[in-house]
Amino acid sequence: MEIEFLKKIERQFNKSKINKLSLQNKVVIITGASSGIGEATAYAFAKQKCKLVLAARNLENLEKVKINCETLGAETITIKCDVSNEENCKSLITETIAKFSTIHVLINNAGISMRALFADVNMDVLKQLMEINFWGSVYCTKYALPYLLKEKGSVLAVNSVAGIKGLPGRTGYSASKYALNGFMDALRIENLKTGLHVGVICPGYTKSNIRNAALNKNAMAQAESPLDEDKLILPETVADYIVKMLEQRKAEMVLSIQGKTVFWLNKFFPRWLDKLIYSAIAKEKDSPFK
**Judging by beta carbons within 10 Å of its beta carbon (0-12, 13-18, 19+), is residue 21 exposed, middle or buried?**
middle
| Gap between the Cα atoms of 34 and 209, Å rounded | 11
Residues 6+ apart with CB under 8 A from 4: none
State the DSSP string of the chain: -HHHHHHHHHHHHHT--PPPPP-TT-EEEEESTTSHHHHHHHHHHHTTT-EEEEEES-HHHHHHHHHHHHHTT-EEEEEE--TTSHHHHHHHHHHHHHHHS--SEEEE-----B-B-TTT--HHHHHHHIIIIIIHHHHHHHHHHHHHHHHT-EEEEE--GGGTS--TTBHHHHHHHHHHHHHHHHHHHHTTTT--EEEEEE--SBSSSTTTS-B-TTS-B--S-SS-GGGSBPHHHHHHHHHHHHHHT-SEEE-SHHHHHHHHHHHH-HHHHHHHHHHHHHTSTT-TT-
| Gap between the Cα atoms of 29 and 42, Å rounded | 9
Q: Let me know: does 187 contact 285? Beta carbons within 8 Å.
A: no
User: Of 143, 147, 173, 241, which residue is the catalytic one?
Assistant: 173
Is residue 173 part of the annotated active site? The answer reads yes
Active site residues: 173
